[in-house]
A and B are shown apart, each in its own frame.
Chain A
Amino acid sequence: MTVSLSRKYTFCASHRLHSSALSDDENRAIYGKCNNPNGHGHNYEVELTVRGVVDAVTGRVVALDVLDRLAEERILAPLRYRNLNEEIDAFQTAVPTTENLAFEIDRGLRSVWMGVFGDAGPMLERVRIWETERNICEIAVIG
C-alpha cells in the first residue's frame, strides 16, 4: 500500500526581487514592493511530500528522523536567518522568487535523495513553499 506523507518545516529569511536584466522601472513594475532596495523578509513554510510503501513493522513510509535531518541539513540550516540574495550561491544569479527558491530546494534534496534513501526507498513526490499565506509554489513529480 502506497501512501504520501507530508511534513512541514519553517524558516525565516530576507530577500529582494530584482533582476539585473531589467531596468529599475521594469523591476518596480514587475516586482512591486518586493523590489524595495533594502529588502524584506518572510516566514517561509516548506512542505515535503514523500511517497512510498508503508513498512510492515514501523507503519511508516519514511523514517521521520532521517527526513527531518535531511531537511535541517539541506534546507533549514543553509537558509535560516539568511539574506538570500547576499548569502546563497544560487541567488547570486537567479532572482529569489518563490519559484526559484522551490527549484533550489527541490534540486538540493534530489541531489542527495538516492544516497540517503536508496533505490528501493520512498520518492520525493512534491515540494511546496509558502512565502505568505497567499503566495504558494509547488514542484511535483507527475505520474
Chain B
Amino acid sequence: MIISKKVEFSASHVCRSPELSDADNFRVYGAAANPLGHGHNYVVEVAIAGEPDPVTGMILDLKRLKEILEAKVLDVYDHRLLNREVEPFDRIVPTVENIAIDIWNRLAARIDDTGRARLHSVRVHETNELFAEYRGE
C-alpha cells in the first residue's frame, strides 16, 4: 500500500550550467537561465510504501513523517537560494529533476529507519505545468 504526503516550500534558483555558453544556457533553460535568479512555490509529494501496522492501522505515523519532512526537506530548502545554500546545487544545476533526486537521497535512509515503511517516490512540482518524479532507479 502507498500513502502520500504533500509539503510546500518556496525557494529561488538559477538554471545555468558553467559548461554551457550564455546562448546555450538560454536555449536549454529559457527564462530560468536569468543569472539573477527567480523563484517558485515548490510542492513535494512523498509516497511511502508498506503494510499497515495491524494495531495502529498505519504504514508510518504521519506525525513522524511530518517531522522527517520538516527536518530533511523544509529546513534545508524553504526560503533559500538553492544554488548557494543547498548542497549539491553548488555543483549541479537545480533543475526540478535534480531536486527530486536530492530530496530522495535525503529521505530514503530515514524512511527505512522507521521500520515498516520505505520510500516509494518523490514528486516535485515546480509549477502547475512541470513536475518530476524519481523512484530511486
B20-A59 in contact (CB<8A): no
B133-A54 in contact (CB<8A): no
A58-B17 in contact (CB<8A): yes
A2-B137, A63-B28, A64-B30 known; A54 and B130 CB under 8 Å? Answer: no
A59-B129 in contact (CB<8A): no
For the complex, give the distance between the alpha carbons of A2 and B97 in Å: 9
Nearest to A60 among chain B residues (CB) is B95
Chief secondary structure at chain A's binding surface: mixed
0 or 1 for each of B73-97: is its CB under 8 Å from A? (1 = yes): 0000000000000000000111111
Give A76 Cβ to nearest chain B Cβ, in Å: 13
B128-A60 in contact (CB<8A): no
For the complex, give the distance between the alpha carbons of A7 and B132 in Å: 9
Which of A3, A58, A65 is B132 in contact with, Cβ under 8 Å?
A3
A54-B131 in contact (CB<8A): no
Q: Specify which chain B residues have a CB less than 8 angstroms from the CB of A58 in the assembled complex.
A: 17, 20, 28-29, 93, 95
Instruction: Tell me the count of chain A residues lying within 8 A, CB to CB, of chain B.
Output: 18
Q: Specify which chain A residues have a CB less than 8 angstroms from the CB of B92 in the assembled complex.
A: 59
Give A58 Cβ to nearest chain B Cβ, in Å: 5
Instruction: Tell me the count of chain B residues lying within 8 A, CB to CB, of chain A.
Output: 26
For the complex, give the distance between the alpha carbons of A139 and B128 in Å: 20
Which of B19, B29, B93, B132 is A5 in contact with, Cβ under 8 Å?
B132
A59-B93 in contact (CB<8A): yes
Give A84 Cβ to nearest chain B Cβ, in Å: 23
Give A5 Cβ to nearest chain B Cβ, in Å: 5
Q: Does B63 contact A (CB under 8 A)?
A: no
A61-B133 in contact (CB<8A): no
Nearest to A5 among chain B residues (CB) is B132
Q: Specify which chain A residues have a CB less than 8 angstroms from the CB of B30 in the assembled complex.
A: 64-65
22 CB-based A-B contacts, threshold 8 Å: A1-B101, A2-B134, A2-B135, A2-B137, A3-B101, A3-B132, A3-B133, A3-B134, A4-B134, A5-B131, A6-B130, A6-B133, A7-B130, A8-B129, A54-B97, A58-B28, A58-B29, A58-B95, A59-B15, A64-B28, A64-B130, A65-B28
Query: Closest 7 interchain pairs by CB?
Result: A59-B93, A59-B95, A8-B129, A4-B133, A3-B97, A59-B98, A54-B97
